[in-house]
C-alpha cells in the first residue's frame, strides 16, 4: 500500500475555476498533502502529460481527475488518448464530472476510465467526495510508480 506519508502527484483537468478552487479547498480542508496540478483544458492536459512546452518539467501524475466537458479537447478525447498511449495508460483516471448521463458513464468506461464520479454541487458533499477519492487512491490502492 502507498504510505500516508508519501504524497502523490495528482493532475486535475478542469476548466471551471470554481471547481478548481473547491478541489483545492477540499485538499486543504482535509490536509491532503498530495501535489495538485491543474490543466484547464484537454490540450493543456495532454501537454502536461507529454511534458511539452511550459510543462517540460512536469511530474508524471500518479492519478488524473478528469472533467468530461472541456474546451479545445473534450475529456472523452483526452481519456481515449491517455488509454491508447503505452506510456500513459497505466495512470489511473477518475472521471469527475457533473454529468449523470448513462451514455457518458458507459462511454467513459468503454474508454477505460478507472472510475466515474459525479460531482456534488454542495461544497461539504464535494469535500467528502474528494476525501474519499484521496483515501481510496492513496491509502487503499497500490499505484504504479515510474
Q: What is the CATH number of the domain that holds 31?
A: 3.40.50.2300
Q: What local confidence, expressed as pLDDT, does residue 1 receive?
A: 40
Residue at 1 is within a domain: no
- For the segment 85-100, what is each residue's pLDDT rounded down to a tens digit? 999 999 999 999 999 9
Q: Tell me, yes or no, whether 59 lies in a domain.
A: yes
Q: Which structural domain range is residue 114 located in? A: 9-138
Question: Residue 104: inside a domain, yes or no?
Answer: yes
- Model pLDDT, residue 29: 72
Average pLDDT, rounded, for the chain? 89
Write out pLDDT tens, residues 105-135: 999 999 999 999 999 888 889 888 988 888 8
The C-alpha cell that represents 116 in the structure block = 466515474
Average pLDDT over residues 16-31: 84
Would you say residue 58 lies in a domain? yes
Phi, psi of 98, rounded to the nearest 5 degrees:
-85, -15
Task: Tell me how far apart the alpha carbons of residues 56 and 78 are, in angstroms, rounded to a whole number.
Answer: 19
Query: What is the total count of domains within the chain?
Result: 1
Q: What is the mean pLDDT of residues 6-16?
A: 91
Does 2 fall in a domain?
Answer: no
What are the residue ranges of helices labelled H in 2-145? 17-29, 42-49, 75-84, 102-110, 123-134
Cα separation of 42 and 74, whole Å? 6
Dist. CA 67–CA 10, nearest whole Å: 14
Q: What is the pTM of this model?
A: 0.91
Amino acid at each position: 500500500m502507498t504510505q500516508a506519508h508519501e504524497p502523490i502527484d495528482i493532475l486535475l483537468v478542469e476548466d471551471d475555476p470554481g471547481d478548481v478552487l473547491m478541489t483545492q479547498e477540499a485538499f486543504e480542508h482535509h490536509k491532503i498533502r498530495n501535489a495538485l496540478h491543474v490543466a484547464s483544458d484537454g490540450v493543456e492536459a495532454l501537454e502536461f502529460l507529454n511534458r511539452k512546452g511550459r510543462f517540460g518539467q512536469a511530474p508524471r501524475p500518479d492519478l488524473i481527475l478528469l472533467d468530461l466537458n472541456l474546451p479545445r479537447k473534450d475529456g472523452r478525447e483526452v481519456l481515449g488518448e491517455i488509454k491508447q498511449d503505452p506510456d500513459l495508460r497505466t495512470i489511473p483516471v477518475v472521471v469527475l464530472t457533473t454529468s449523470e448521463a448513462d451514455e457518458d458513464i458507459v462511454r467513459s468506461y468503454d474508454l477505460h476510465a478507472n472510475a466515474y464520479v459525479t460531482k456534488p454541487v454542495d461544497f461539504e458533499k464535494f469535500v467528502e467526495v474528494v476525501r474519499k477519492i484521496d483515501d481510496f487512491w492513496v491509502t487503499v490502492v497500490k499505484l504504479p510508480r515510474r
